[in-house]
Amino acid sequence: MTSPNHPFLAACRREKTPYTPVWLMRQAGRYMQEYRKLRAEFSFLELCKRPDLAAEITVTPVKRLGVDAAILFADILLILEPMGVGLEYSKDDGPVIHNQVRSRTGVEQLVEFEPAEALSFVFEAVRKCRVALDGRVPLIGFAGAPFTLASYLIEGGGSRNYLRTKKMMYTDPGAWRALMERLAHALAKYLNAQIAAGAQAVQLFDSWVGCLAPDDYERYVLPYTRATIAAITPGVPVIHFSTGTAGLLRLLRAAGGDVIGVDWRVDLDAAWERLGYDVGIQGNLDPVALFASPKEIRRKVAEILKRAGGRPGHIFNLGHGVLPETPVENVIAMVEAVHELSAR
């Protein structure tokens, strides 16, 4: 059993810890040779659907990097597959949704499903991760937030301007509401099933919500993110993550979460001041900083720790996921620097 006083879980509750806990988004991925070796044999979706392999991929970076939390190997888009929209991970273009949702009819055609059944491989992976971790560090479960998932359903993949997403938001509010309600409902069930299977904290990824004006966030997104977070099993810490949202911090805070994840485009001290000190903060090293020398990485780590000011409730992380070309030794140097420079 992981102790409830493990530094990662204590930091989520804004309690004092002997050092600042650190983990990395996408810590299980292509920058690791162990992962690339498995990927040579299996497709990404196959790996996600093999709980034994997903657990192995989850645990490997914990052993190699010395991080203070594990994040389940899965993907935010898995929940879209049982909706019948035709999810595919293409080699060159990233994820693709073949049957995009563009109207009220499109929303109504989404298949109703029971996450506990349709995504049982995820919960089996959670159970296997807990066994394999053997109490070493806590396990973080996760899901995409309603807006970011809606953007994939509507655009069919990544997007530059989120034109179709915003167009539905502005011109077909009934369809938008129906879609966001469906997603919020499914996401809460999905996260609670991960928790029931053994996830000890959860992170909600609203990676692309930074494209919105504050007024639009408040009107079209906040109610659904808030409903998702409010429905999560009490007592389990929630990390609410997004990027490019320096102008939305107050609203993200209002939507909920015990810890707010911020990227490197905002100074950590300024962000925390805006959020208020009654919430934790996670971040916020630029992932590209891991391509600098270990000396420069250490300097940047020190700068972020200085901005956190030794306040309880800081979880060190990147501002977004580790990039595939990142040198593993630099990631290890970063983790060591966080532990050494924050020791108190």
Tell me if 28 contacts ligand CP3 by CB under 6 A: yes
**Residue 75 appears among annotated catalytic residues:** yes
Q: How far is CA 96 from the centre of its chain?
A: 19
Nearer to ligand CP3, 289 or 298 (CB): 289
- Closest residue by beta carbon to ligand CP3: 207
Minimum CB separation of residue 106 from ligand CP3 in Å reads: 21
- Contact (CB, 8 A) for 253 and 225: no
Residue 93 or 114 having the CB closest to ligand CP3:
93
Active site residue 64: no
Q: Is-catalytic flag, 299?
A: no
Classify 160 in phi/psi space as left (phi over 0), alpha (psi -120 to 50) or beta. alpha
Regarding 95 and contact with ligand CP3 (CB under 6 A), the answer is yes
Is 260 one of the binding residues for ligand CP3 (CB under 6 A)? Answer: no
Q: Is 64 buried (19+), middle (13-18) or exposed (0-12) by CB count in 10 A?
A: middle
CA distance 183 to 178: 9
- Of the candidate residues 11, 76, 168, 232, the single one contacting ligand CP3 (CB under 6 A): 76
Residue 193 is a binding residue for ligand CP3 (CB under 6 A): no
Closest approach, Cβ 58 to ligand CP3, in A, equals: 8
Among 13, 19, 26, 312, binds ligand CP3 (CB under 6 A): 26
Is 42 near ligand CP3 (CB under 6 A)? no
Nearer to ligand CP3, 14 or 25 (CB): 25
**Of 75, 206, 258, 263, catalytic:** 75
Q: Which stretch binds ligand CP3 (CB under 6 A): 8-16, 21-29, 228-236, 279-287?
A: 21-29
Indicate which single residue of 69, 71, 97, 201 sits in contact with ligand CP3 (rule: CB under 6 A).
Answer: 71
Q: Which stretch binds ligand CP3 (CB under 6 A): 22-30, 124-132, 226-234, 311-319?
A: 22-30
CB 155 within 8 A of CB 147: no
What are the residues facing 97 on neighbouring strands?
87
Site string for ligand CP3, 154-183 (x = CB under 6 A): ----x-------------------------
Long-range CB contacts (within 8 A, 24+) of 283-287? 283/316, 283/317, 283/318, 283/319, 284/317, 284/318, 284/319, 285/316, 285/317, 285/318, 285/319, 285/334, 286/318, 286/319, 287/318, 287/319, 287/320, 287/321, 287/322, 287/323, 287/326
Q: Does 30 bind ligand CP3 (CB under 6 A)?
A: yes
For residue 318, the cross-strand partners are 285
Has 30 been annotated as catalytic?
yes
Q: C-beta of 16: minimal distance to ligand CP3 in Å?
A: 27
75 Rama sector, left if φ>0, alpha if ψ -120 to 50, beta otherwise: beta
SS3 content of the chain, % helix, strand, coil (to 5): 55, 10, 35
67 three-class SS: coil
Between 2 and 203, CB nearer to ligand CP3: 203
* Identified binder of ligand CP3 from the candidate list 29, 51, 106, 198, rule CB under 6 A: 29
* Cα distance between residue 341 and residue 1, in whole Å: 28
**Nearer to ligand CP3 by C-beta: 62 or 298?**
62
Q: Which is nearer to ligand CP3, 142 or 264 (CB)?
A: 142
Q: What stretch of H or E contains 11?
A: helix 7-12
Residues 6+ apart with CB under 8 A from 53: 38, 42, 47
Yes or no: say if 77 and 183 are a contact pair by the CB < 8 Å rule: no
In the complex, which residues of this chain contact ligand CP3 (CB under 6 A)? 25-30, 39, 44, 71, 73-77, 89, 94-95, 142, 158, 205, 207, 320-321
Catalytic residues: 26, 30, 39, 75, 152
